[in-house]
Structures are given as structure tokens and as C-alpha cells.
Structure 1
Amino acid sequence: MSLKSITLFLCLVYSFFETSFSAYLAPIAVDFATRQYTISIYIKTPPQPTNLLFDLGASFSWVDCTHNYSSSTYKSIPCSSSLCNSLGSHACSNCFRLPGPGCSNDSCILFPVNSVTRRSTMANALTDWLSLPHTDGRNPGQLGAIPEFVFSCSKKKSLLKGLVKGVVGVAGLDRSNFSLSAQISNTLSSPNLFALCLSGSPSAPGLVFLGTRGPYYFYPQIDLSKYLIYTPLLSNPLRSSLEIYRYPSAEYFIGLTSIKVNGKVVQFDLTLLNIDANGFGGTKLSTVTPYTMLHSTIFKALTNAFVNESSALNLTMTEPVKPFSVCYNADDVRDTSLGPAAVTIDLVMQSDDVFWRIFGSNSMVRIVREGIDVWCLGFLDGGANMRTALVIGGHQMEDNLLQFDLDNNRLGFSSSVLAHGTMCANFNFTTNSNLG
């Protein structure tokens, strides 16, 4: 092959990757027993399917390496390298203490965190190939590879304790430079954003789109990107105890100005919704928090308003079922296309026209046990000492499209996609072999 032919070939390959395959997706399933959300990706060479906890609050990804780690493409990260310095590492490994893949006496060290149990350990930092299906927003395509994906390789089996069976680590998707989404963006020069659609179905997964502003098509051919409303992402000046490397916080905070129930403003100390100089207060989103947690002051005001407004629906509280405080007999609650009939809860943001509306499908939780069949308000009292006043949990995010746009420092949200005649379980996962 001539030099001219080789040059033309390389240009075509570069153009192919730059223009055609900057968008990826990955399915996300929920385990209903633990309320943990897990993402399915591929790592190593050859690609191996890997299930990780999906964590909006983690700065980087880690996997369990207590069994033999076998891949033809992994590399260690030298402690003296600029990459190790960029990771914020403050330690180097001694292979006697941390044996395993990529280990040398000059190996960069990270401290992976299990955010469910709040356990952490020392572990080697590695790079290896990450593979995900391409997408055009309608279907998944063939796998595309992200070379030199940075993650941590834990040799502590105990770090998996508390994670759902089959999960072998954590996928980090916070605002830092080494999150899953940021690394894809940096490698492919794609938009630094991802769109999350958590499924409320026990049998069909939701998904995350990476590196694309849309379209996001769900059956019956509904592009949910058209329904996004935007609010700024805010900074928190101080990290939480779990964010070992990031200062200020790299978690996702948004600004609420009020909360409404059935269109009426809930009365409480609104200064709790502001982030103070010490990092207290405000509102953040968390996929490892099953149900929205509220500061006690907000919780009491919200539940009182909800109970009062629900009386107009002829609903009478029954014996609560832990961990919930407000429950109603299921026979007394009507079914609607938006879930159980319940008064709406609005999270109001920068103006009265910008609000995240929570319908019954996201505000209520069905509990069926022997002799019990109730709908309960799915908000929990986090106590009077919560660092963050309001933590929006996974149940409230289900069947809502959320676009985390780091390029424009904003969150796009749709409110319930059930209102548009679809759901997050309605993506067509049939592979289009022409994509990739």
C-alpha cells in the first residue's frame, strides 16, 4: 500500500470516529429489593460484560480485582506521571501491600468508595479499554472502544459488601474530569453530558445516553429531548465526606426556591434551600439514595401539606409502614395514567415557570405484604442534621429524563415522561448492525 493510500485510510478512520460514533449508551437496571441501580458496560480486551453500581456522586469508577484480572490492554499508571497527579492521588503503592494487575513500586493509588456502605480502601489505578454500544438515539449499535479508560482496581473483597449480587464495582458519573461521561467526552471530543432515564419497571431496563444532546427516542417514536426544561447546576464550596479527592464538591446540586403541594407553597424556612459557606443546605441528586430525603423541618411541612390536600380526594391515612410515615389503603387510591391518584408536588426553581412536577408514580410507593396493601408517600425524614437539606432519590427520578449538561453547566429535566405517553423502559434495545 502506498504512503498516499495509507494517509487517506488514516484520515477516513479518524473522520469515521470523530463524526459517526461520538454517542454511546448503556442499559441501567434496578434491583427492587435494594433499590440499587446498576449499569452494564464492557471493560478489558477482549471485552467482558461488567455490572457496576450507577453512582452520580462518585468521581471515578472502580472494579473488584480479587480474582485474576486478565486483559491484554491494561496498563499501570506511574505515580510520578502527570496522569496520576491529575487524579489527585497522594500515595504510591508497595506491591507487597497491593498486589495485582498494573502493580509496580511506582503505581498510582486511588481510594475507591462504596457509597452504599461508606467503606473505602487503597487500590491501584489502571487504564484499560472501555467498550459501549454506539447509538443514533433510536437503537444501540455495535460496540465502540474507549482506550485508556482510567479506573481503580480494588483487591478488597469486603468493598463489595452491601452491593447487589452480580455487581463488581462502581461507575462514577459526577462532575469530575475522570467520571465515565467526562472520559468519553475527552477521548472523542463529544459533548460533555449524559442523559439518564431510570426505569420503574422490574422487567425492562432504562438507560443512559453518553455524549449526545439527542434525539432520545422511546416507543412510540417519541423524542424526549424535546420536552426538557433547564435549570443551572450549582456549586457547593465544600465536598462531602465521601468525596475524597474533590474540593469543592463534584456532586450535582440544583437551586430550589420553594416547594408546592397541589399548587400551594409549602411553608418552612426557605434558607434551608440555599447552600451556605460551609456547604450545608441546598438540593442534590443521588442515585444511591432510594427515596428523597428531607431535612426534618422540610419533611414535616411537606407531609402536613400533602395530608391536608389529600383529604379532598377522600383519602384517610392508615397505619404507616416503615420507613414511610404517610400511607393510604390501596383500595382507596385510584389508578391513573400517571400512577396512583395523588396531589402533585412541585420543586420550583429559578422562577415559578420552572418546576419539576412530581406525580403519583414518583411520589407514592406501593407496599404489598401479607395483610398489607398500601400506597405510601415516598419521602423520608433525614433528621435535623442533614448536610444537604434535600436529596432527590432514585424513585423520584424514575421515568423522568434528566440531562446532565456539563458544557453548559445545567440540568435538563422532563418531569414524568408518562405524561408524554411513554416510559423509560420503552427504549428499543434491538441492535442496529449498521451503527458501528
Structure 2
Amino acid sequence: MAFFAFFLILCLLLFLPSTNCISSPESQHTQTVRLNHHDTIQAIEDFMAFDAGQLLQESIQVPATTTTTSSSSSPFQGNYIPVYDIDIFLKSGYEDYRSLILFRLARNAKRFEWLSTSLTDSPVVDIPYYYESASYVGIMDIGNPPQRAHLLIDTGSRFVWWDCQPCNNCPTFSYNPSRSSSYRQVDCRMEGECPGNEGLFWGCDMDGNNKCEFKVMYRDSTEAEGFLAYEKVTTTHGEEGGDVVLVENLRFGCAEKSPASMIGKKFTGILGFGPNTYSFIYQMNATSFSFCPKSHTASVATSLYFNSLPIPDDFTFRTPLLQNIQPIYYAVNLTGVYVRWEFLEIKSLTNSDGRVGAVVDSGTSISMFPLQFYNQFRDTFTRHSQWLSRLPGEQFFDTCYNISSPEWYLEVPEIIFQFSGVTGHEVLRLDANQIMMPIGTDGKYCLAFSPTKFRQFTLIGTWQLQGTRVSFDLANQMLQFDPENCKNSPS
């Protein structure tokens, strides 16, 4: 007994408050989290029944006078744009929730293929596998007078483009530059205006109209092309209420040709949030951006805030953004994962030129671990969940379980991510909804993690971050997690 007390005191002195102290298996026998199957099914049914078409239609028209919700309902003040999970607009094209979730996982797999290619020792490939790999849709206004735009938000993209009329394959609602007094085409004759013939930019055209051409060639053989221009971007959700300008002169790609579907022609372009000179977030000189990934069955918007960080509470922690990763991604040092009381050390991405880190990506749904680590993680999880009824794996998962009536709940081992903090280790506890993914509504749940074929590639997906406010503190190069912030606020 004296030895146990000594060990506990030593553990507290060495690790708290930033790290959970795992004393012994006996003292941790309650380290499980519960998933309520009844609540999950009800949320899925409500989500599938929600009429997103009306939501999209209503937000097309910019009202003559704008109103904003009271800031008292928000966790902190700041300018923001409403952001929706993309599946709320896509679900009408699928027979049921199972078909929708499998399509989401297929998008996830394609996006991973792009990310893993660009994070190997091969030359940088910073164009997504295909344009539909984003997970979130942001709503903002373009031009003067404003025209409403629905843009795919992507922390893995470094460029901004949207369709400009007249254009081929235009979405039903697309931007018309001839109606905007704030629109200005980039003139190749002006020194420093055109980036030149590099990467996305193809220099001046040869037709004598002085356009600075761009071309985004996606790896599924689709492409967006046009010319560079400047435009004003605003939001109707200013900190003081009403309209506010986010960027006065945003340099963007005015697309005359874009991928044929743009997911059913519902969205008008891509808003890159990657750490690069041409991204939206860098052009607006933002010191930070912050949002709560909602539950993937949420039918309400979250708020993406600019230049405003939440006030820290007892659950807040910060981890450094790594500087030696590819310059188009956000990465942190994920040092290990707890499965109940067992700690599994993970070696994140390390290449020959010293790049290390676990990528935090808005377009990826589920977290992905290197194969060897994943096998160890999965085997540890199954060893600690032997009371559950196993089912065959799914297309993208190898560890699945059944919940049958009248049980209606699933008790699973707790999973905790451990990060490098400012002065020590920091931990993010996952609840059952972040650990397991329902595959349809028949009671089948799968462990929401996947392996990668790349030996040292780690990816943190939004399924594990849902319900946690994630803040990118660009000024201090930190990533801030607020697990309780989203629970205390509708935004």
C-alpha cells in the first residue's frame, strides 16, 4: 500500500497537470466510454430527413438588410462565416445513410492517396486527388453588390478559385464579375501582378488580352482553369453585427472552366486555407482561425471564426505547429495513444529531409496510422473489448461490432491522444462517438481508424475532432484544442 501511494505521488509530481497519470490496471478498470445507440439512430434519422435543399436555396439570396445572432450565444466574439458539413447537401443523392457514409469513406481514401503522395520523398504534389475531397462548405459574399457563394473549405489547399460567368459547367448559382464594381482582372503588364509560369500559374496568355492564366489539374484528370483577378470578400456575421469585409482585394482564380459536376453543381469553388501565400487565410492576414467540427449528423452550421481565440479553460491545451513539414499542411507532434491504461508510442512522419509530424486535415474524416502501429493499436483495442460482439469488417474498416436490442448502448475502451505540449505532454480524450462510426442504422459500429501503407504517415481526421473546438493560432504557430468549448456553445 505504501509503495502504491509513493508511486501515485511521484506520478502526480512528474506529469500533472498536462498528462494523465496511469497508475495501474486495477485503478483504471472503469476507463471505458459509453455510446448510446438509440440517440445515434435518432440523430441519423433526423439528419437524413432534414431538407437541405431549402437551406441552400435560402442562402443564395443576399438580404437587403442583414442581421446577426447575438454574440451571447457564441463562446467568444469575432468575425465568422457559417460552415456546414458537406454531407448535409449530398445526402439526397443516396438511398440511405449507409450508402452516404461509404461514399464519404471513399472520398477519404482518395484524399489520403493525394496526401500520402505529397508527403513522401518524391517531389511535392500539392493538388488534391480530386476536387470533391473537401468535407466542409463555407458561405460568404463576393463583390459589390454582394453575391452569395458556397465554397469548399480545405486546409490542405493553397489556392482560391471559383466559377466566373460565362463559364463551362457552371453551378446553378455562380459569380458574375460583370455585376460587381469591386472586381478587377490581374493585368500581366503590371510588374509583380502575375506570378509567372510556375506550378498553378501559367503566366500571361498569348492572345493579347493580358490575362494571367491559372490551371489546377486534379489527379483524376479533371481541371479548373481561367485567369487571376481581385475581388472583395465579405461576411454578414461581423463581430459588431452586420456586414464586414474579410479581404478587400483577394487574388483568386476566376474559373472559365471547372470540373463538370462540382458535386451536383451545388458549390462554386474552393477556398484554400493552407499555410501558403496564395491561400485565403494568408491573404486576409489572419492571426488565427477557429471552428468546431460538428457531429457528422448535425443539420446546423458551425461558425468559423477569424482573428479570435477562445478563452482557455481547465480543459484547453496547446501544441506547437511543426515548421519542418511540407509548407502546405498543418502538422503537430502526436507522440502516442492510450487505449485504456496502455500507452502505445507512435513515431510520426519522418522522411530523409527531416520532416516530422501528424497532419491535421479538414478534408479527412478518419484518423490514419502507419500499418505497424495501427496493428498494435487495433489489437490492443480488441483485447480490451472482448465483451463486445464482433462482426465482419467493412470496406474500409477491419474492426466492427454489433449492438442489438435491447442493449442499446456500447461500452468501449477509452482512447486518448497524447501530444507534445509547450512544457510537457498534453492529452485529448475521445468519447465513444469519436471512437466508433455507425455503418448504417442496423447496429453495426466500426473502429473509426484505418492503417496506411506508408510506414511513418499519421493523419488526424475530423471524426476524432468532432465536438472539439480546433484553433489554428498562426501568429504563435500553435494548435489549440478546447474539448469543452463546443459543448457549451451552439457554434
Give the TM-score, by structure 2 length: 0.65
Unmatched runs of 5 consecutive residues or more in structure 1? 1-21, 97-103, 186-190, 216-223, 240-248, 428-436
Following superposition, the deviation at residue 296 of structure 1 comes to 1.5
Q: Residues 258 and 132 from structure 1, CA distance in 2 versus in 1: closer, same or farther, beyond 3 angstroms? A: same
User: Residue in 1 aligned with 2:337?
Assistant: 259
Following superposition, the deviation at residue 170 of structure 1 comes to 0.8
Q: Residues 347 and 332 from structure 1, CA distance in 2 versus in 1: closer, same or farther, beyond 3 angstroms? A: farther
User: Residue in 2 aligned with 1:321?
Assistant: 394
Deviations 1:8-67 (A, max 9, x none): xxxxxxxxxxxxxx9410111113335421111111221111111110111121112225
Matches within 5 A, 1:363-402: 363-368=435-440, 372-383=442-453, 385=454, 389-402=457-470
User: Partner of 2:194: helix, strand, or coil?
Assistant: helix
Matches within 5 A, 1:12-411: 23-32=78-87, 33=100, 35=104, 36-65=135-164, 66=167, 67=170, 69-70=177-178, 71-79=180-188, 80-85=190-195, 90-94=201-205, 105-112=209-216, 119-136=222-239, 141-145=241-245, 146-158=247-259, 161=261, 163=263, 165-185=265-285, 192-200=287-295, 201-214=297-310, 227-237=315-325, 239=326, 249-266=327-344, 270=346, 272-278=347-353, 282-311=357-386, 314-331=387-404, 341-350=411-420, 353-368=425-440, 372-383=442-453, 385=454, 389-411=457-479
Partners of 2:263 and 2:399 in 1: how far apart?
29
Q: Which moved more, 1:30-39 or 1:356-365?
A: 30-39
Amino acid at match of 2:191: S
Partners of 1:47 and 1:95 in 2: how far apart?
32
Partners of 2:313 and 2:254 in 1: how far apart?
36
Following superposition, the deviation at residue 344 of structure 1 comes to 2.0
Partners of 2:484 and 2:395 in 1: how far apart?
26
Following superposition, the deviation at residue 332 of structure 1 comes to 7.7
Partners of 1:377 and 1:87 in 2: how far apart?
46
Unmatched runs of 5 consecutive residues or more in structure 2? 1-76, 88-99, 105-134, 171-175
Partners of 2:222 and 2:301 in 1: how far apart?
28
What is the total number of aligned residue pairs between the two structures? Answer: 355
User: Partner of 1:155: helix, strand, or coil?
Assistant: strand
Partners of 1:86 and 1:23 in 2: how far apart?
36
Amino acid at match of 1:169: G
Deviations 1:348-392 (A, max 9, x none): 1126640222221111111225xx321111112222x36x61111
Following superposition, the deviation at residue 209 of structure 1 comes to 0.4
Partners of 2:411 and 2:302 in 1: how far apart?
24
Check the 8 A contact 2:349/2:458 in 1, yes or no: no
Q: Residues 305 and 334 from structure 1, CA distance in 2 versus in 1: closer, same or farther, beyond 3 angstroms? A: farther
Q: Which moved more, 1:82-91 or 1:31-40?
A: 82-91
Check the 8 A contact 1:39/1:53 in 2, yes or no: yes
Partners of 1:150 and 1:279 in 2: how far apart?
33
Check the 8 A contact 1:358/1:416 in 2, yes or no: no
User: Partner of 1:92: helix, strand, or coil?
Assistant: strand
Deviations 1:312-332 (A, max 9, x none): xx2132122222211111338
Partners of 1:308 and 1:69 in 2: how far apart?
60
Which portions of structure 1, spanning 4 or more consecutive aligned residues, are displaced by more than 6 angstroms?
Answer: 86-89, 332-336
Following superposition, the deviation at residue 184 of structure 1 comes to 2.3
Amino acid at match of 2:257: K
Check the 8 A contact 1:255/1:274 in 2, yes or no: no
User: Partner of 2:282: helix, strand, or coil?
Assistant: helix
Check the 8 A contact 1:62/1:112 in 2, yes or no: no
Give the TM-score, by structure 1 length: 0.72
Q: Residues 353 and 50 from structure 1, CA distance in 2 versus in 1: closer, same or farther, beyond 3 angstroms? A: same
Q: Residues 236 and 330 from structure 1, CA distance in 2 versus in 1: closer, same or farther, beyond 3 angstroms? A: farther
User: Partner of 1:182: helix, strand, or coil?
Assistant: helix
Following superposition, the deviation at residue 109 of structure 1 comes to 3.1
Q: Residues 322 and 178 from structure 1, CA distance in 2 versus in 1: closer, same or farther, beyond 3 angstroms? A: same
Partners of 1:142 and 1:87 in 2: how far apart?
41
Check the 8 A contact 2:205/2:212 in 1, yes or no: no
Partners of 1:177 and 1:209 in 2: how far apart?
20
User: Partner of 2:479: helix, strand, or coil?
Assistant: strand
User: Partner of 2:233: helix, strand, or coil?
Assistant: strand
Partners of 2:440 and 2:479 in 1: how far apart?
35
